[in-house]
Chains A and B, each alone.
Chain A
Amino acid sequence: MSFLQLIISELKAILADKTIVLTVFGGVLFYAILYPLPYLNQVPTEQQLVVVDHDHSSLSRQLIRHADASAKIAVIAKVGSIDEAKSWIESGRAHGLLVIPADFRRDLLLGRGVTLSYGGDASYFLIYSAVAEGLISVGLDAGKSVQRLGLLAQGHGAQAAELSLNVVKLNSIPAFNPSLGYTPYVVPGLFLLILHQTLLIGTSILGASQWKETGYWQQVSPLKLVCGRMAAFMCIYTLLTSFYVGYCYYWYEVSLQASFSTVALLLLPFLLSTTAAGIAFSCLFSRRDLPTQVLLLVSMPILFVSGFVWPTALIPDSVVAISQIFPAVPGIMAMLELNQMGASWQSIMPQWLQLWAMTAVYFVLAYWGVKTRLASD
């Protein structure tokens, strides 16, 4: 059997197995739509807010109108007391409250300080931060306009008043993901993880269903079989990865900064090491339904440990060290640095070399595992 024939029979075996086709092609295509689905609206806007207005003055009404004008907040009701506001929040009708104290306007005009209270439902962090950001900017604005009025009344020039209000300008701008959108944040890492998991599952199921049977895999040497299998899966996954990284990243408005050649160069050892790991892993199983279960259980931990959801610095070192055995962990980080954050090729060298080292280690393991499996028959 020549090497080319081997690759062809591998491809045939993969395509003939409905479960593998379902996982590899079905899974990859289905998840490309399903996973980013909840996040398509990108940023939470117009969070429902109830207002407790104890002042009922022109200024408090103006403040409420300003709050309603903020893109992050929608004022849905005025209620009489804080208790009532609480019941609105508990029943899920509102997510935040604003309390304007009595004598708000009078105190301000008399030059006494007043305190506005904001509350947001922190059971949902994204809602809370939207409510808090919206209300704080409204409060700051109200304060500034009162200050400006005061300064103008004292006879300051308009320009000087402006200057003394903004002593220092804070120019705070998001880098890398300028829209603060949710899909550009989730998609790059998550999609690499989907490729990683389906590739591992595909290779494992193929292996697990073959060990106890007879077929073309016994007619070739273990080394040739491992190489042939890697080549076959690389053919399929080059296509699927091109679809994800080339098309889906673009479709979901992920920021892209690297060139085609550097991304390809990074993905090469990522896919190779994952395929080799999958073949090595497949030698542990002889039941076809087990690999999926094991890999499903580890996928959530891999996602959280890869460092873009929760900062790596806060994860216990031992957990981080264990996670390094998965090609996805260095792969996702290197991809984010290279493609989303625009780092230079040199700076991802450590991860790139780690992926090559993993390829070598898993290749040896795969060879050894396949050899043992084939010999035991």
Chain B
Amino acid sequence: MLKRETAALLDDPWQLALISYIPLLGIIGLWLLFSAGLPRQLPVAVVDLDQSQISRALARQLQANPVTKPISYTDLSSAVDAMQQAEVYALLVFPHGFKRDLLTGKSPTIDIRYNSQFLLVGKLLSSQLQASMADGLKPLAALKQLAAGVPKAKVAVNLSPVSSQTTALFNRNNNYVGFLVPPVLIALLQLVAMMVFANSLNRELRWNTTAEWMSLGMWKGIAAKVLFYTPIVMLHGGFILALIYLYLDVPIAGSLTLLLVAQLLMLLAVWLVVLLIFFALKDSARVISFCTAMFAPAFAFMGVTFPTHEMPALAQWWREIMPSSHYIETHIAVVSYGQGWLATLPQFASYWGFLLLLIPISVLTKKGFNAVDKCNIPLAPKEH
């Protein structure tokens, strides 16, 4: 049976591409996309209507911040245009008379607008710009305190009696490669796995070889395909882990072997879902379309970008159907918290729902045989 699968694989150029270079291209392409890792040098429009020494010093403060790259605009309207065309992601205005107001004890306003249509960039810039400005204004406030006769030792405490230390736990420098790339690649792996397996099943329909495939009995036929394709797809899963955690050296607290076992379980769950759809539909293009419709949005439901517990109940149910969202929980627990084997077992057990799929699959396969044989004759000329 395994030999038969090998022959079938070698005969099908697309399937061969799908298990060799296509996932590699996809993995490397997606990693290249995010390879910058940390957002740096994001363009920010600065409109300095004051042109004073203080406003220029504050603008230089932005230059010193690695995240922002100030671009000077002489008037507001051209800066607004640049903002609307997404040439700059934020806009900062020093009002006319800024220095005068500061010196005369009125509190002037610095206007900051950030592009929240690009949510990720906008939020980052908002906090960075505020931090830069607050920092830039400290020396001025310190000068004022000193002038008022406050001893130098007390100035710093007077300025900020409560200072804060914010720590990003588990992903110390907020690296996007560690945060976004693993779930994106897992979503890709799941898609590839789904297609590979669906293609292999569809092939039996296309060449009208279901009888030959089932000759050793239904479950043996399926087992042959599972045994054949699981190691191949696992290789790609292993490549993803090796790329991120060995080659790129993204910190990982737990063990890679545990992640591989988790991937194996995810793949088995994917196989079960594909089998169910295949036996329910029995038409190659429709099987692919249906699987695509199911698995394409998997990334949105993983709960990495938008937290799971904030999703509506319906979304959480749908999430349970996606093998990738079960996997990603284990992944984050192992990578971030260094979760061990024992603590992972309950997570593995959460796949039990997929075993229930075996019941409809076995019902459908029993029924399916006759149906396949009957409808194959009219289908055959249409399908190749």
Contacts and interface: CB of A to CB of B under 8 A. Distances in A.
Interface of A: 18-19, 22-23, 26-27, 30-31, 34-35, 37-41, 44-45, 47, 89-90, 92, 108, 111-129, 132-133, 135-136, 139-140, 142-143, 146-147, 150, 163-164, 166-178, 180, 182, 184-185, 201, 205, 209, 255, 287-290, 292-293, 296-297, 299-301, 304-305, 307-311, 313-316, 319, 333, 336-337, 340-344, 347-348
Contact of B30 (A122, A124, A209, A304): A304
Nearest to A125: B179
Given A143-B162, A341-B84, A313 B43 contact: yes
A111 B154 contact: yes
Interface string B178-189: 010000100110
Nearest to A318: B32
B326 to A, nearest CB: 14
B293 A121 contact: no
A114 B85 contact: no
Contact of A287 (B34, B86, B384): B384
A175 to B, nearest CB: 4
B274 to A, nearest CB: 13
B120 A310 contact: yes
Contacts of B299: 300
Contacts of A201: 289
Nearest to B34: A310
Nearest to B18: A293
A339 to B, nearest CB: 10
Given A108-B162, A135-B166, A314-B39, A301 B33 contact: yes
6 nearest A-B pairs in the assembled complex, by CB-CB distance: A174-B116, A122-B168, A143-B162, A343-B84, A122-B171, A314-B36
B162 A175 contact: no
B373 interface: no
Contacts of B91: 175
Given A115-B163, A341-B86, 6 more contacts: A41-B310, A146-B161, A163-B105, A293-B14, A296-B191, A307-B86
A118 B195 CA distance: 45
Interface in B233-289: 283-289
Interface string B278-321: 00000111111110110011011101111100111011001100
Interface string B31-48: 011111001111100000
Contacts of A299: 296
B174 A38 contact: no
B253 to A, nearest CB: 10
Contacts of A121: 169-170, 336
A301 B161 contact: no
15 contacts: A34-B318, A35-B297, A37-B312, A38-B303, A90-B337, A115-B165, A126-B307, A135-B164, A168-B110, A177-B116, A178-B116, A293-B18, A297-B22, A300-B184, A337-B84
B114 A172 contact: yes
Contacts of B171: 122-123
Given A126-B307, A170-B130, A136 B288 contact: no
Contact of B137 (A35, A44, A133, A167): A167
Contacts of B161: 108, 111, 113-114, 143, 146-147, 150
B310 to A, nearest CB: 5
A309 B384 CA distance: 40
B14 A290 contact: yes
A209 B382 CA distance: 8
Interface of B: 14, 18, 22, 26, 29-30, 32-36, 39-43, 81, 83-86, 89, 91, 102, 105-123, 126-127, 129-130, 133-134, 137, 140-141, 144, 154, 156-158, 160-172, 174, 176, 179, 184, 187-188, 191-192, 195, 199, 202, 283-290, 292-293, 296-297, 299-301, 303-307, 310-312, 314-315, 318-319, 332-333, 335-337, 339, 382-384
A89 B30 contact: no
Nearest to B160: A143
Contacts of A133: 127
Contacts of A108: 161-162
Contacts of A315: 32-33, 36
A40 B158 contact: no
Contacts of B319: 38
A340 B169 contact: no
Given A41-B310, A169-B110, A174 B126 contact: yes
A166 B43 CA distance: 28
Given A19-B285, A37-B314, A113-B157, A172 B129 contact: yes
Nearest to B305: A126
A169 B188 contact: no
Nearest to A194: B296
Given A136-B164, A308-B117, A347 B112 contact: no
A44 B293 contact: no
Contacts of B306: 38-39, 44, 126, 182
A249 to B, nearest CB: 13
Nearest to A333: B86
A342 B84 CA distance: 6
A143 B34 CA distance: 38
A316 B33 CA distance: 7
Contact of A166 (B40, B107, B162, B293): B107
Contact of A288 (B89, B195, B383): B383
